[in-house]
Amino acid sequence: MSSKDPLLDVSGLTKHFPIKGGFPIRRTVGAVQAVDGLDFSITEGESLGLVGESGCGKSTTGRLITRLLEPTAGTISYRGQDITHATRKQLAPVRSEIQMIFQDPYASLNPRQTVGKIITAPMEINDINPAGGREARVRELLETVGLNPEHYNRFPHEFSGGQRQRIGVARALALEPKLIVADEPVSALDVSIQAQVVNLLQKLQKELGIAFLFIAHDLAVVRHFSQRVAVMYLGRIVEIADREDLYGNPRHPYTRALLSAVPETTADDTPARERIRLAGDVPSPVDPPSGCRFRTRCWKATDKCASEAPPLVRVEGSREGHLTACHHPEDTRAVPAVPKARDAASGPKLGKKTTEDPGAGA
Ligand SMILES: Nc1ncnc2c1ncn2[C@@H]1O[C@H](COP(=O)(O)OP(=O)(O)O)[C@@H](O)[C@H]1O
Ligand code: SF4
Ligand SMILES: [Mg+2]
């Protein structure tokens, strides 16, 4: 963890969606425990990756932070200010600083509006008038995201998927945000385009100092992007660590399983790993397993795992800031075939060739 004050601090964040049923009177008969007690923080300019299988609560987390959803419990503070239940009016100054980029660049842009109009909208809504005028600012933003400023009057359908996602990025940048929640921003894009969009976001993070919560369903994408990574399973964080620690010494069995599925072509400094195939499906968040939620799929589960939920703590042998929620953590360092992840720039590449070049620009 950085010693800097957090930009965003989330504590005990919970979202349970009520399930209505019954006849003739409809009442709450249960709840989807989509997000169940998350603790994490993001410092200024930092990128935190949030990873987990589909349905584990990533988008719900993103929507809670951007206050598109009301939390069931827990607190969200931004720059030390509690915004958990802030009203629209109270949120106004903060809202412009926290922006979201959505997964589907097709569904998230109004097809009847020109690109210029789409990117201008946040400035209009927030009554922001940049020095050189809004149109000049939009052209500048188009250039920033690698689009032709002359395409100001074009409509979304005239662009490819990757270009549309760039439009979404330009819109998110219009209010000079401090934090962007990017919800699987490249999942809907062609694999060949994904690296280009990730590179763009990386450039923005570095050059504009924008912090990111970067949501992804596998560990390959965030590897190039996030200094810290949190792994989620069924509404809870099971492991959180600096990138080097998480990839080099995963302590939670689920993290290890996810890592074993990372295609080695995208992780050039990852040694060969044995592929771990998880048995069964993700259980329903309506009725999650007792104790450790991962126990129905874990090859190490014991009675303790069924009766006690493991707390998210620093386990023996982990470095500071590396937290794991497991009663019987892995220790991959004990296996000589799995050396510690190194700085990608140093040392030999272990004979693995990358096909994806994160340095290849748009
Ligand atoms: N508005 C909603 N009402 C009820 N259940 C929801 C709602 N939104 C999401 N869920 C449920 O919450 C769980 C987590 O969903 P989501 O946050 O979208 O996961 P992810 O983004 O990781 O795929 C899923 O079981 C999903 O069906
Ligand atoms: S607590 Fe038990 S069931 Fe859960 S991940 Fe650890 S060993 Fe597996
Ligand atoms: Mg999602």
User: What is the DSSP secondary structure assignment for residue 313, as one 8-state letter?
Assistant: B
CATH code, 40: 3.40.50.300
- What's the pLDDT at 278? 86
Same domain, 216 and 265: no
Same domain, 203 and 63: yes
Query: Could you give the CA distance from residue 229 to residue 241 in angstroms, rounded to a whole number?
Result: 6
Q: Would you list the DSSP string of 96-154?
A: TTEEEE-S-TTTSS-TTS-HHHHHHHHHHHTT---TT-HHHHHHHHHHHTT--GGGGG-
Q: How many Cα atoms within 13 Å fall on the side-chain side of residue 274? A: 7
Residue 63 lies in a domain: yes
Same domain, 204 and 259: no
Which ligand 1 atom is the nearest neighbour of the CA of 285?
25
Does residue 51's CB lie within 6 angstroms of at least one atom of ligand 1? no
- Ligand 2: which residue has its CA nearest to atom 1? 326
Among candidate residues 191, 226, 261, the one where a domain is terminated: 226
Assigned token pair, 13: 């964040």
Residue 194 lies in a domain: yes
Same domain, 159 and 277: no
In tens, the pLDDT along 84-142 reads 999 888 888 888 899 999 988 888 899 999 999 999 999 998 888 999 999 999 999 99
Which of 85-89, 216-220, 266-270, 320-324 shows the highest mean pLDDT? Answer: 320-324
Does residue 295's CB lie within 6 angstroms of at least one atom of ligand 2? yes
The distance between the two most distant Cα atoms of the chain, rounded to a whole number of Å, is: 69
Query: Could you give the CA distance from residue 56 to residue 44 in angstroms, rounded to a whole number?
Result: 26
Q: CA-CA distances (angstroms) from residue 320 to 49, 68, 245, 300, 311?
A: 18, 33, 10, 25, 16
Same domain, 220 and 263: no
Residue 145 lies in a domain: yes
Does residue 309's CB lie within 6 angstroms of at least one atom of ligand 2? no
- Ligand 1: which residue has its CA nearest to atom 11? 34
Which ligand 2 atom is the nearest neighbour of the CA of 301?
3
Strands (E), the chain: 6-21, 27-43, 47-51, 73-78, 81-82, 98-101, 179-183, 211-216, 228-233, 236-242, 323-324
Same domain, 154 and 257: no
- What's the pLDDT at 126? 87
Nearest to 242, CA basis, from 329, 340, 350: 340
Which ligand 2 atom is the nearest neighbour of the CA of 238?
5
pLDDT exceeds 50 at position 336: no
Contact indicator for 240, 326 with CB cutoff of 8 Å: no
Does residue 301's CB lie within 6 angstroms of at least one atom of ligand 2? yes
Residue 232 lies in a domain: no
Contact indicator for 50, 59 with CB cutoff of 8 Å: no
In tens, the pLDDT along 175-195 reads 999 999 999 999 988 888 999
Residue 25 lies in a domain: no
Q: Which domain holds residue 294?
A: 250-362
Among candidate residues 184, 210, 226, the one where a domain is terminated: 226
Residue 55 lies in a domain: yes
Does residue 57's CB lie within 6 angstroms of at least one atom of ligand 1? yes
Does residue 32's CB lie within 6 angstroms of at least one atom of ligand 1? yes
Question: In the predicted model, what is the mean pLDDT of the chain?
Answer: 87
Same domain, 222 and 273: no
Does residue 55's CB lie within 6 angstroms of at least one atom of ligand 1? yes
Q: What is the Å distance from ligand 1's center to 29 Cα?
A: 17
Does residue 10's CB lie within 6 angstroms of at least one atom of ligand 1? no
**Lowest mean pLDDT across 190-194, 232-236, 287-291:** 190-194
Assigned token pair, 96: 């412009």
Same domain, 145 and 222: yes
Which ligand 2 atom is the nearest neighbour of the CA of 300?
7
Any idea which ligand is nearest the CA of 306?
A: 2
Does residue 338's CB lie within 6 angstroms of at least one atom of ligand 1? no
Same domain, 269 and 133: no
Same domain, 189 and 320: no
Same domain, 220 and 254: no
Does residue 62's CB lie within 6 angstroms of at least one atom of ligand 1? no
Contact indicator for 272, 264 with CB cutoff of 8 Å: yes
As beta bridge partners, residue 99 has 180
Does residue 58's CB lie within 6 angstroms of at least one atom of ligand 1? yes
Same domain, 36 and 164: yes
* pTM as predicted: 0.88
Query: Could you give the CA distance from residue 32 to residue 267 in angstroms, rounded to a whole number?
Result: 35
Q: What is the Å distance from ligand 3's center to 258 Cα?
A: 17
Residue 240 lies in a domain: no
- What's the pLDDT at 25? 84
Contact indicator for 160, 76 with CB cutoff of 8 Å: no
- What's the pLDDT at 339? 43
Question: Which of 38, 60, 61, 254 is the best mutation target for the ligand 1 pocket, counting ligand atoms within 8 Å of the beta carbon and taking the most?
Answer: 60
Q: What is the Å distance from ligand 1's center to 338 Cα?
A: 35
Coil, strand, or helix at residue 251? coil
How many domains does the chain fold into? 2
